[in-house]
């Protein structure tokens, strides 16, 4: 009887240990599955691209992703937009040279080949005001973005300042009628956490 009781106790202990190992393995697998591989090799150097035409800027919007924060310029009918994106010590307005304060640990000077006005009539097309935050853009809770400032629209080009947490790697994507600027959350190649939906795909 004692042998039977001892054998049963041993089986129960073994089953409990096996269950703990299985649970731990499941947790590890879940943690690995939650890791998101992030793009690498963007760098933080100046970036620029040629344009195929210029029509008015319609909107600027933002979105959050696992690996980066995103800024999108919408220019319907604009084709391939020219651009210049670079880190600067301070944002100087292209038309006047006046400095515009931008919050954050680093500042990106972004210039897009699309005016904030109709070139034919001069009528405003995008309601940005010099030195003010971008209208209808809320970046509260973003991991990388800290501030946005409309700088100017001059000679067919719109300039904004993007304040970010630090000098982080970024990329620029030219799409039909759009220009996308992504700024990474870190220099590391992986991020963890669930996918965050974005208003700016």
User: For 139-153, how does the pLDDT look when each residue is reduced to its tens digit (9 = 90+)?
Assistant: 999 999 999 999 999
Q: Tell me: the pLDDT tens digits for 123-135?
A: 999 999 999 999 9
Q: Tell me: the pLDDT tens digits for 12-71?
A: 444 444 444 344 444 444 334 456 789 888 999 999 988 766 799 999 999 999 999 999
pLDDT for res 201: 54
Work out the burial of residue 68: count CB atoms within 10 Å of its CB; fewer than 13 is exposed, 13-18 middle, 19 or more buried: buried
Q: Report the percent of the chain where pLDDT is more than 90.
A: 62
Residue 10 DSSP code: H
Residue 79 DSSP code: -
Q: Topology of 47-192 in CATH?
A: Immunoglobulin-like (2.60.40)
At residue 84, does pLDDT exceed 90? yes
pLDDT for res 34: 55
Q: In this structure, what token pair is assigned to residue 157?
A: 């080009």
Residue 120 DSSP code: T
DSSP-derived 3-state class of residue 173: strand
**Beta bridge partner(s), residue 175:** 178
């Amino acid at each position: 009887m004692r042998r039977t009781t001892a054998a049963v106790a041993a089986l129960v202990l073994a089953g409990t240990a096996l269950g703990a190992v299985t649970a731990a393995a499941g947790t590890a697998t879940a943690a690995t599955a939650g890791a998101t591989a992030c793009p690498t090799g963007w760098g933080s150097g100046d970036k620029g691209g040629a344009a195929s035409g210029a029509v008015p800027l319609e909107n600027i919007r933002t979105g959050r992703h696992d690996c980066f924060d995103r800024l999108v310029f919408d220019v319907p009918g604009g084709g391939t937009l020219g651009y210049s994106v670079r880190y600067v010590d301070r944002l100087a307005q292209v038309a006047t040279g006046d400095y515009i304060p931008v919050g954050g640990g680093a500042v990106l000077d972004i210039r897009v080949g699309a005016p904030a006005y109709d070139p034919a009539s001069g009528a405003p097309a995008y309601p940005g005001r010099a030195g003010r935050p971008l209208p209808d853009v809320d970046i509260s809770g973003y991991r990388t973005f800290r501030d946005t400032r409309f700088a100017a629209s001059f000679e067919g080009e719109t300039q904004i300042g993007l304040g970010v947490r630090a000098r982080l790697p970024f990329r620029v994507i030219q799409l039909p009628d759009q220009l996308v600027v992504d700024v990474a959350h870190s220099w590391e190649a992986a991020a963890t956490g669930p996918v965050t939906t974005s208003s700016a795909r």
